[in-house]
Structure 1
Amino acid sequence: MADVEKAIDASPTPIAGVLQMSMVLRDSALLQTSYDDWRDVQACKVKGTWNLHNALSGGKLDFFILLASLAGAVGHPGQANYASANSFLDSFVQYRHGLGLPCSAIDLGGMEGIGCLSDKPVKLLVYRPSGLNMLQEQQLMDAIELGIRYSLPADNMRPTSSHSAFTNMSHFAVGMNSTKPISDPMNRVIFKGDPRISVYNNIVFADQKNVSESKEEGVRELLREVEANPELLREPDTVNRASWEIGRTLFGFLLLPEENLDVSMSLTSIGVDSLVSIEIRNWWRRTLGMDIMVLEVLSDGTIEGLGKLIVLSLQKKYGIEGEGGDDTKESESAN
């Protein structure tokens, strides 16, 4: 407390606002967390916030922003101590508002380029594949701007609708979106099944569905043409079209830039594994109306191999045989 008061007294001008950004991490399983590790993590956020609150109680502040973490809202494995400290920050907003004082809490997700993860590339390699959206510096600045705007207790409580609970605009989270579709089995973000963000997930799912349907329009057009004229399955260009369309679908599953699509790419090189193969099987059944084994997907080798398998499946469905079908089979065997 003495150090905080000393720093305030040393300020050449009156202090107009506070940014409480302190943090200490001592990650471990709860049963292995020592008292010292619990206390060290708690102290900077809990005791530090009380010190700032008490030391500045006599001044007039425009804002009092507490940088918290999503861990306080949704938890995180190995961070019970950190989650608890951040939950305190979230509740402290209500305490200060009850006194008529400004306060806001921002629950941040993982930051990239700045902050504690900026020098931990291994951690980023773990987080990115899980689907966690890494925040950028500008998003933090935008969040702080909102925190300042809604820091005062007046008019920060408002109903979400005429028949539901109130929401506090002074407490919000940033970074609860994902880089992978919610339905993707490779999406391992902790909060994807949290009912508190179900409305947001439904909005995202609808957007993803629209994008997915637009990407699948090429496949549907090909299927309509084949249904009208099954003899198209004898033409080499049909394999090219099928390969391109399954490639677009795969790149959509894996969130890869479509401009890098090359149908000669191997499936393993773009990240197709058993989990993605299950998604391909489901897509195959849903879009083509035919079943395929996961092992068939994995054994085809390349995107073009899957395109040829689509044509072979359609040839079987429509009873198309002959020179074109034999050529396709020979090419498939060569792969």
Structure 2
Amino acid sequence: IFILLSSACGIFGNAGQGSYAAGNTFLDALAQYHVAHGEKGTALDLGTLLEEGYVAENKQVMTRLLRMNLLTLMSLNQLFAMFDYYCNPSREYQARHSQLCLGYELPTKNFRNLFIEAPPLAEAKIIAAEGLQMKLGRALGLSIESIEFDSKLESYGVDSLVALELWNWMTKEMSADVAVFEFVRRNESERLLEGLLRPRVRQGTLYPNSQIYVPQALRPSIYGH
């Protein structure tokens, strides 16, 4: 019986740790390969350990990870219980069960579907803002409540790499209509919502100095005027 200690990073990735994520996905595939060939073993995709490791020794890092609302803490006792279970020689192994994902929570909302299905512009704007707050919070380790759209992204520590990640998410998940060079250069929270709402707007009055149509009732909340 062999146990491979992999990481949840191989499941959801992490900015700046592409090689680490790739190494963990290799461990997951290796476990599946060996089990498919009649051997016993599994890959445990661990999250954050409460008592040991880099995160446990750096409280600021732990606080930032917890604010992301993605990872959950695991105790050593829970980890050892996993070892006891998977090291049981009488346990049957199947290739499709060769990988166990631990220590993270799945997203509770599908913002792409919610955004597409929201008919009124006002509702779409709220969903877009909530999705951006969640994405920014996870990327920067900030609480969602602390992110306001009347502030520049740079005030939250957004650099060009994080901005590019946000742009990729916006264009893929919500079909945002904003060029990457414009987004990275301007780096403004207002520009995020504008780019998300532009494809959805179908009626209203052209707002001054803007290329999108926005109903009167939404102007103060989007533009801050």
Q: TM-score with structure 2 length normalisation?
A: 0.45
Q: Rg: which structure is higher?
A: 1
Q: TM-score with structure 1 length normalisation?
A: 0.32
Compare relative contact order (CA 8 Å, sep 6+) and give the higher one, 1 or 2.
2
